[in-house]
């Protein structure tokens, strides 16, 4: 891939500007600097490799060359209050766009799902992650950076010692080779189409419809608290995850620093 070819391939989408790199530290970091320097809305940073890719909760994100998709969209915030109130929905925006793209290719018995709040799974294994970061200038929200990483070919799956959840890649699930740049085109197209709806109840319903592990028991880890064993219910209208503990008490979890693990998972 190169800058000109990518621009041509994405020319039918209403993106801002595009910057392609053979290798970068993290597309989210490059996008953040570009946003501060005045990048237009829906500008895209894409790369073939990340040397310091980042995940949620200070984790690293593995992006070896030629095997994965790693890109970040700059979403300019013009309506400060609305954007702030709905920040967690941007994570769902990325996750839903990836899910919908994959579900056009996956057999219906193997749908892609969202492990709340930000992982995309297929066959109960993680194949994509979303990292949303807000950038400020004083009290002004400059931009929201929507970072998306997708494992495409087998070398993109991190080695077992780096895994905190079972992982896979698109080509292994589909059992065929995939053109990663046309997959990215489809994800971007869906982000653009879904974005105007992120404040609507229908958006939450679409997110809930894709929720992984509904009705299953999970361990919930919240920084600084004892782990909680609970059954996944659904989503509240603000995007919080509704769970029920062993005593029958209902909890409403905010995205933030929450991790879910399956109880009695047979996956390694």
Residues that bind ligand BTN (CB under 6 A): 26-28, 50, 53-56, 59, 61, 70-72, 118-119, 129-131, 147-149
Least distance between ligand BTN and beta carbon 117 (Å): 10
User: How many Å apart are CA 138 and CA 195, to the nearest integer?
Assistant: 26
User: How many Å apart are CA 122 and CA 174, to the nearest integer?
Assistant: 10
Least distance between ligand BTN and beta carbon 26 (Å): 3
User: How many Å apart are CA 96 and CA 124, to the nearest integer?
Assistant: 16
Closer residue to ligand BTN in complex, CB, 27/48: 27
Q: Locate tokens 């950076």: which residue? A: 145
Least distance between ligand BTN and beta carbon 156 (Å): 11
Closer residue to ligand BTN in complex, CB, 88/149: 149
| SS3 category, 71 | strand
Closer residue to ligand BTN in complex, CB, 56/190: 56
Closer residue to ligand BTN in complex, CB, 148/235: 148
Phi first, then psi: give them for residue 42, nearest 5 degrees: 60, 30
Kindly state the tokens that stand for 210: 């894709």
Closer residue to ligand BTN in complex, CB, 63/172: 63
Least distance between ligand BTN and beta carbon 49 (Å): 11
Closer residue to ligand BTN in complex, CB, 70/143: 70
Name the helix (H) or strand (E) containing 242.
Answer: strand 241-245
Do residues 143 and 163 lie in contact, with contact meaning Cβ atoms separated by under 8 Å? no
**181-187: long-range contacts (C-beta < 8 A, 24 or more apart)?**
181/1, 181/6, 181/9, 182/9, 183/69, 183/101, 183/150, 183/152, 184/46, 184/69, 184/71, 185/9, 185/10, 185/13, 186/101, 186/104, 187/69, 187/97, 187/98, 187/101, 187/148, 187/150
Minimal CB distance residue for ligand BTN: 129
Least distance between ligand BTN and beta carbon 213 (Å): 16
Closer residue to ligand BTN in complex, CB, 221/244: 221
Least distance between ligand BTN and beta carbon 201 (Å): 26
Least distance between ligand BTN and beta carbon 154 (Å): 18
Least distance between ligand BTN and beta carbon 70 (Å): 4
Do residues 75 and 163 lie in contact, with contact meaning Cβ atoms separated by under 8 Å? no
Partners of 221 in beta bridges: 259
Closer residue to ligand BTN in complex, CB, 88/129: 129
User: How many Å apart are CA 163 and CA 200, to the nearest integer?
Assistant: 35
């Amino acid at each position: 891939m190169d800058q000109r070819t990518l621009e041509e391939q994405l020319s039918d989408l209403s993106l801002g500007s595009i910057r392609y790199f053979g290798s970068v530290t993290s597309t989210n970091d490059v996008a953040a600097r570009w946003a501060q320097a005045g990048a237009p809305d829906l500008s895209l940073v894409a790369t073939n490799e990340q040397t310091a890719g980042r995940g949620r909760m200070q984790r690293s994100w593995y992006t070896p060359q030629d095997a994965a998709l790693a890109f970040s969209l700059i979403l300019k915030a013009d309506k400060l209050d609305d954007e702030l109130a709905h920040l967690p929905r941007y994570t769902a925006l990325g996750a839903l766009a990836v899910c919908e793209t994959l579900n056009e290719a996956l057999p219906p018995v193997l749908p892609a799902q969202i492990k709340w709040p930000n992982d995309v799974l297929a066959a109960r294994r993680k194949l994509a992650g979303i990292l949303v970061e807000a950038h400020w200038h004083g009290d002004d929200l400059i931009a929201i950076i929507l970072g998306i990483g997708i494992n495409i070919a087998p070398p993109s799956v991190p080695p077992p010692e780096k895994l905190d959840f079972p992982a896979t890649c698109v080509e292994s699930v589909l059992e065929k080779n995939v053109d990663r740049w046309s997959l990215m085109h489809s994800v971007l197209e869906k982000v653009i189409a879904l974005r105007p709806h992120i404040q609507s109840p229908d958006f939450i319903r679409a997110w809930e419809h894709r929720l992984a592990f509904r009705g299953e028991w999970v361990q919930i880890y919240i920084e600084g608290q004892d782990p909680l064993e609970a059954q996944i219910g659904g989503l509240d209208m603000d995007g919080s995850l509704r769970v029920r503990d062993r005593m029958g008490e209902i909890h409403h979890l905010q995205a933030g620093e929450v991790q879910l693990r399956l109880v009695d998972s047979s996956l390694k």
